[in-house]
């Protein structure tokens, strides 16, 4: 398994979520929200990616010169628990090393709006990560977007498939913007520098 980041190779940045308007504003879809903002920033629109069950935008991020990076932004259209197949197909098509893959996903064990960046590790019960790890191993980057734990006795599955609360929505735009900044910093500056800025 290739765990070396290739500074000159393309990066595959994957927002995890579920396709369809009924899921669009769910907590589980925050990865899609960040990917949409990144697509806006590179001036692209998501389009179906050939035979892969995903939508992609190709572009570049970073200042002109050696820090400029080619990126493929992706949203799997397979539903969360089958994300690994489409991501693996894109990895092979674009010849992306596993360490140049970034998964943006919701994280229950972190307070709402808090970010954590890391390389590798377990899936912590997240079905999108579980599917990706099964497809090509665990040594990819993660940008973990905290959504907090469900209140009272609410089931986790119900909580993640609900929209953000009205009070959460007041700050959601700011947090999504910050998560997009964190992804860009990870790709341009490397994991350690991005962690020192964004791991709050």
Mean pLDDT along residues 9-33: 96
Name the nearest CA neighbour of 113 among 164, 186, 51, 58. Answer: 164
Give the whole-angstrom CA distance, residue 18 versus residue 59.
Answer: 23
CB-CB contact of 78 with 52 (8 Å):
no
Mean pLDDT, the chain, as a whole number? 93
- Mean pLDDT, residues 125-145: 96
- Going by C-alpha positions, the residue among 185, 99, 106 that lies closest to residue 139 is 99
Distance, in Å, from the CA atom of 157 to the CA atom of 155, rounded to the nearest integer, reads: 5
User: What pLDDT is attached to residue 77?
Assistant: 95
CB–CB of 181/200 below 8 Å? Answer: no
The DSSP annotation for 55-117 comes to: EEEEEEESSSSTT-EEEEEEEESS-GGGTHHHHHHHHHHHT--GGGEEEEEEETTS-TT-EEE
Residues acting as catalytic residues: 28
Q: Is the entire prediction scored with pTM above 0.85?
A: yes
The model's confidence at residue 6, banded by pLDDT at 50, 70 and 90, is low
């Amino acid at each position: 398994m290739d765990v070396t980041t290739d500074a000159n190779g393309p990066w595959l940045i994957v927002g995890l979520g579920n396709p369809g308007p009924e899921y669009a504003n769910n907590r589980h879809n925050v990865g899609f929200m960040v990917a949409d903002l990144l697509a806006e920033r590179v001036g692209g629109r998501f389009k179906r990616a050939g035979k892969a069950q995903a939508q992609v935008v190709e572009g570049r991020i970073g200042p002109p010169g050696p820090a400029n990076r080619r990126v493929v932004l992706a949203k799997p259209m397979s539903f969360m628990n089958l994300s690994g197949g489409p991501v693996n197909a894109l990895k092979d098509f674009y010849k992306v090393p596993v360490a140049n893959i970034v998964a943006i996903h919701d994280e229950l064990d972190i307070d709402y709006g808090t970010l954590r960046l890391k390389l590798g590790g377990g899936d912590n019960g997240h079905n999108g990560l579980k599917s990706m790890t099964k497809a090509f191993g665990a040594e990819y980057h993660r940008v973990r977007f905290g959504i907090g734990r469900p209140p009272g006795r609410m089931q986790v599955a119900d909580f993640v498939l609900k929209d953000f609360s009205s009070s959460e929505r007041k700050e959601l735009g700011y947090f999504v913007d910050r998560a997009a900044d964190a992804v860009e910093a990870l790709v341009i500056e490397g994991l350690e520098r991005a962690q020192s800025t964004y791991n709050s």
